[in-house]
Chains A and B, each alone.
Chain A
Amino acid sequence: MLIYLWLINFLFSLVIITPVYFLINRDYSRSLMGNRLLQGIDLLWLGDIIYKYQDILPALTGWMLFPAILFLALYVFLNGGIIGRVIAEDEKTNPSNFFGDCGKYFFRFLRVFLISAVGYIILFGVIFKFFSALFNLWTKNASTEWTVTIASNLLFLIQILLFSIVGMFFDYVKVRLVAEDSRKTLKATIANFSFIGKKFFKAWALYLLVGIISILLGIVFVGVSNILPKGGTSLIVLFIWQQIYIFSKMWVKVLFFSTEYNFLRVHKI
């Protein structure tokens, strides 16, 4: 399953970067400046790139946005496969049952996605704004930069935590729909309020724990990347290491659903 997820991510990204690759290849593969690209970021070539591509940047952004939205829609589809396979833990995953689950749950998850969109709009448009206003009140008459620094970091932490709550909530809705093989999305959403309400802190702690694992993986990735030599064959090593990291992110994604399913099973089913 992880292989499918990684492959889909990789292919989508490849489509997005292909025009960029051809542009860079055209301008740099025969230029001596191309050798400098090997040595990491350098303001001379970075300046060149910004200057050369400034006019096509809007088109490029548009080009990237379309596959990104498509990718989001695709994940609505893939979530069914991921959760379906997590729940059928004894079965071996193959393309047939994975994509079968994707198809089976797609419309249910599409409805969850639409409901969650409302949730995220409320989160970003109302709750975040409310907290920002609150923090602005606090920092409006600040006398030192410390107040602003602490406040902006605290606000960011609160935003992350709130985001995690909304994310977790809709994860449980999806897991519940698959676990109960229910089609009643709205009912499952409403019922989830009651479940999360009762077990909120335990569920959230578990969710955050997986989040922390994800952060730790990021730290390991950066640490190892920094010690990898640059140039030559190490390029391949770095590429492989990057893909291992992306792979680990897929694993974390599955881990979220897996822990949520087990939590739901232990406490409800």
Chain B
Amino acid sequence: MKIKKTAFASVLFLLGFLNWVSLFAQQALGQEKISNIRYEIWVELDDQKKMLSGEEDLTWFNRTQDEVQDMLFHLYYNAFKNENSTALQEAKEETLFGIRVKEGAWGWIDVTKIELADGRDLKPTMEFVTKDEPIHPGDQTVMRVRFPESVKPGQEVRLKLKFQSKIPKTILRSGYYQNSYFIAQWFPKPGVYEEGKGWNCHEYHLNSEFFADFADFVVHITVPSNFVVGASGKQIIAEPEEKKKTVTYTFEQTNIHDFAWTADPDFIKVERDFIADQEVSPKEYEEVAQKLGLPQDEVKLHNVKMILLIEREHKGQIERHFKALRAAIKYYSLWYGPYPYETVTMVDPPFRTGSGGMEYPTLFTAGTSVLTSKNVLSPEGVIIHEFGHGFWYGLCANNEFEEAWLDEGINTYSTGKVQAKAYGQGEMSMRFKRIPLNRFFSFPRYYDYEQDRAAAISIVKYDPIMTESWKFFNRMSYAANVYMRASTCLNTLEKLVGEDAMLRIMRTFHTRFRFKHPRSQDFINVVHEITGKSFNWFFDQLFFNTLNFDYGISLLRSYEKPKHGRGIFDVNGKKEEWTDRKVTGLKEKKSEKKEVYVTEVRVRRFGEARVGGEAKIKVKVVFADGSEEVRSWDGQSRWANFTFEKPVKAKQAEVDPDRIWIIDSNFANNSLKLEPSRGGVFRLATKFLFWVQNCLQLFSTLS
């Protein structure tokens, strides 16, 4: 047993050494330093007590010009410690009853030791910090320690911590249910030090995801030997300890900013390879390279090891999971930049751990049901979306507390593109008592952007997209704004600048800010750079404000142009009166001349948002003979009139006929026909009538 331990320690030492060598080599070669932190964590799961005990060896590099005197840590598990935490207070403020944590289900983390590498104890300086407005003084999710002397620019500080955590029972996508665990936001994690500003370290908020610095991780996870484990990064070794009936798994990954893991005795672990050359044809490489204006070598993808941890009851869906993941790796990598890690772990979340649909670096959770329909893109949608986060939040690691849309919105937009490319339209999911009705009936099919728009237009009055995550009106406003409204605005931007330009915008933004922490202005700057135009007006109106975008047509009329007006006219120095009779007399001679019809169209800006820059509102009028007239309107004033003279009457008029402004909240008023046609109205009305008839009949059974 001892021999085994020694061998294990040697392997770890060797791995650690190799890691240092690689880091040194990277720096020697002049490559950009990515990670500001190096972690080595030892954590043990106590399945009986639902506890974690851990040790953390942390080195932080001060790459700023500031002298840093303290360090702020996230202790996210304390969000579940009691009802005074910011997250649970926010839940209460929003829903009155809040999140009801059952007896014994609370979670917490205690830092039992924190000292410098030389043994100087920092624990006496430890304090909890609550800075986010409104203040929740009972929150313990941010901890500060003060250094005896400041960390100078270019220097590093090494800390040793010990912690004890109680795992919460299924709450906010973390925790345990029976003997299944999803362990996220579990270790003391420093905030992000911003030069000149200090530590950016927000509390755990109900409506927010996270923000952390890039780091190199080595994590040793000890669990009972019957558990199957998955984690961020690459598994290096699994070392059983027969006496304790445990296994210690070591995972390692450089350049990631978070680390999550899962353990469940019932997981089935399946591995597949994403082999780039088999997935992407030379023609596809050529096309993408051409669109992006890049050499083909730069768009080449890497092979990736795909790991799936799936629950036994979903065994029949293994191929569905891999197919979706392959599509996600392929298109995200082709369009935005190659996936830079060797592995990706896809976790089918254990039952009732509430951990589905969440992203962590190189690991994400999907989510499916025992009964599915092949027509509904579930779990495909969630797999593509959560993997996609790895490209935005994972690599362009924006601050999710302050500008969530940069991840959520961009990724919702990207998910829609990838899903449409790989699968086309999906069917609306309808379930009754967990049974997918799509197996028996057909339901409407739609693209993601259509669904996003439905939410986006309804939420505009609450908050601007650019709102700090915990300051949104409510959870619905947070979600609909940062996901759907942002995505709908990006789809509108794509229509405005063109698909190819949008692809270049996304690629440039991604590659330029990979392994960095971009802000919204960085994205806007890239838009300006690629298009060569200012789109400040677009972002000001649609991202920074709550302005409804709605252009439409309020009037369309066509009438025969009078040959002459009525009244007194000066003719050869004499006053001549044109009466009704005289004008009608002219009309009767119409066979002499062709009739001319005047068509008047009034376009209106019903919403407060207005187009800007070079963008115009297109107005198209279709006439009875099939001919068309197109005009442009700058859309600045509240309304404008357009007049046409043609030998025929108009048939219809439409603003934005190419449907560029997907963000327009009312497509119904975008067009006006000269003559009404009630087929559609009749269909909808009869459908509604039939529905009411059925309801009444059902209601009558109570009589």
Question: What residues of chain A have their CB less than 8 Å away from a CB belonging to chain B?
Answer: 9-10, 12-14, 16-17, 20-21, 24-25, 27-38, 40-48, 50-52, 54, 64, 68, 71-72, 75-76, 78-79, 109, 113, 116, 120, 141-146, 148-149, 152-153, 156, 167, 222, 226, 231-232, 235, 238-239, 242, 246, 249-250, 253
Which residues of A lie under 8 Å from residue B351 when comparing CB positions?
142-145
Q: CB distance B458 to A38 under 8 Å?
A: no
B652: which of A12, A29, A32 is its contact (CB, 8 Å)? Answer: A32
CB distance from B282 to the nearest CB of A (A): 37
In whole angstroms, how far apart are the Cα atoms of A50 and B371 in the complex? 30
From B434, B671, B694, A31 is in contact (CB under 8 Å) with: B671
A63 to chain B, nearest CB (A): 11
Which B residues lie within 8 Å of A48 (CB)?
A: 457, 665-668
Contacts known (A75-B703, A246-B693); A47 close to B453, Cβ less than 8 A: yes
Residues of A within 8 A of B451 (CB): 43
Q: B687-702: which residues lie under 8 A (CB-CB) from chain A?
A: 688-690, 692-697, 699-702
Q: Tell me the B383-433 residues at the A interface (CB within 8 Å).
A: 428, 433
Out of A33, A156, A238, name the residue touching B686 (CB < 8 Å): A238
Q: How far is the CA of A45 from the CA of B453 in the complex (A)?
A: 11
Q: How far is the CA of A10 from the CA of B671 in the complex (A)?
A: 33
CA distance A46 to B680 in the complex (A): 13
CB <8 Å contact, A153 and B433: yes
Stretch at the interface among B141-149, B159-167, B197-205, B440-448: B440-448
The reply to whether the CB of B684 lies closer than 8 angstroms to some CB of chain A is: yes
In the assembled complex, which residues on chain A have CB atoms less than 8 Å from the CB atom of B676? 25, 29-30
The answer to whether B692 touches A25, judged by C-beta atoms less than 8 angstroms apart, is no
**Complex Cα spacing A248 to B665, Å:** 41
User: B446, A68: Cβ atoms under 8 Å?
Assistant: no
Is the CB–CB distance between B677 and A29 below 8 Å? yes
A163 to chain B, nearest CB (A): 9
CB nearest neighbor in B for A15: B692
Asked whether, in the complex, the Cβ of A235 is within 8 Å of the Cβ of B679, the reply is yes
- Please, which residues of chain A bring their CB within 8 A of the CB of B370? 144-146, 149
Q: Could you list 16 examples of A-B contacts with CB < 8 Å?
A: A12-B696, A17-B692, A25-B678, A27-B668, A28-B684, A29-B676, A29-B681, A33-B668, A43-B454, A44-B667, A46-B454, A51-B666, A68-B695, A71-B699, A156-B433, A246-B693
CA distance A160 to B369 in the complex (A): 25
Given contacts A13-B696, A167-B701, A246-B693, contact A27 B685 (CB under 8 A): no
- Given the known interface contacts A54-B458, A72-B699, the answer about A10 and B679 at a Cβ–Cβ threshold of 8 Å is no
* Residues of chain B with a CB closer than 8 A to A9's CB: 693, 696-697
A181 to B212, CA, bound (A): 81
Cβ-defined contact, A44 with B700, below 8 A: no
- Would B700 and A242 count as touching, CB distance under 8 A? no
A-side interface mostly: helix
Bound Cα distance from A141 to B352, whole angstroms: 10
Of the candidates B434, B435, B654, B668, which one forms a contact with A28 in the assembled complex, judged by CB atoms under 8 Å apart?
B668
Find out whether the CB atom of A28 lies under 8 angstroms from the CB atom of B680.
yes
* Shortest Cβ gap from B105 to chain A (Å): 13
What's the least CB distance linking B420 to chain A, in Å?
14
Query: Could you tell me the distance in whole angstroms from the C-beta of B493 to the nearest C-beta in chain A?
Result: 19
- Number of residues of chain B lying within 8 A (CB) of chain A: 61
Interface pair B696/A42, CB less than 8 Å apart: no
List A contacts of B428 (CB < 8 A). 41, 43
| Further pairs besides A21-B685, A71-B700: 20, Cβ < 8 Å | A13-B692, A16-B692, A24-B685, A27-B669, A28-B680, A31-B669, A34-B681, A35-B679, A43-B450, A47-B453, A51-B665, A113-B703, A116-B702, A142-B352, A149-B434, A153-B434, A235-B683, A246-B694, A249-B694, A250-B697
Q: In the complex, what residue of chain B is closest to A230 when comparing beta carbons?
A: B683
Given the interface contacts A43-B446, A146-B313, A149-B370, does A246 sit within 8 Å of B454 by beta carbon?
no
Taking CB atoms, residues of chain A closer than 8 Å to B443 are: 41
Chain A nearest CB, measured from B381 CB (Å): 15
**Does B672 interact with chain A (Cβ within 8 Å)?**
yes
B178 within 8 A of A: yes
| Contact residues in A for B678 (Cβ distance below 8 Å) | 25, 29, 34
Nearest CB in chain A: distance from B407 CB, A: 24
B670 within 8 A of A: yes
Q: Which 7 A-B pairs have the closest CB atoms?
A: A47-B454, A37-B680, A75-B703, A43-B450, A32-B671, A29-B676, A75-B700
Write the chain A residue with the least CB distance to B371.
A149
**Residue B97, interface by CB 8 Å:** no
Bound together, the chains give a CA A141 to CA B672 distance in angstroms of: 58
CB distance from A126 to the nearest CB of B (A): 17
Q: Which residue of B lies closest to A76 (CB)?
A: B703
Asked if residues B666 and A226 are in contact (CB atoms below 8 Å), the reply is: no
The yes or no answer to B63 lying at the interface (CB within 8 A) is no
Q: Which residue of B lies closest to A54 (CB)?
A: B458
CA distance A31 to B672 in the complex (A): 5
Mark out the residues of chain B between 346 and 375 whose CB falls within 8 Å of any chain A CB in the assembled complex: 351-352, 369-371
Q: How far is the CB of A107 from chain B (nearest CB, A)?
A: 14
Report if A32-B703 is in contact (Cβ < 8 Å); known contacts: A24-B681, A149-B434, A152-B433.
no
Which of chain B's residues have a CB closer than 8 A to the CB of A40?
A: 444
Task: State which of B441, B450, B692 has its C-beta within 8 Å of the C-beta of A44.
Answer: B450
B516 within 8 A of A: no
Indicate if the CB atoms of A145 and B313 lie closer than 8 Å: yes
Q: A41 touches which one: B444, B455, B665, B667 (CB < 8 A)?
A: B444
In the complex, what residue of chain B is closest to A222 when comparing beta carbons?
B441
Cα–Cα distance between A156 and B435 once the two chains are bound (Å): 12
Please measure, in the bound complex, the distance between the C-alpha atom of A13 and the C-alpha atom of B702, giving whole angstroms: 18
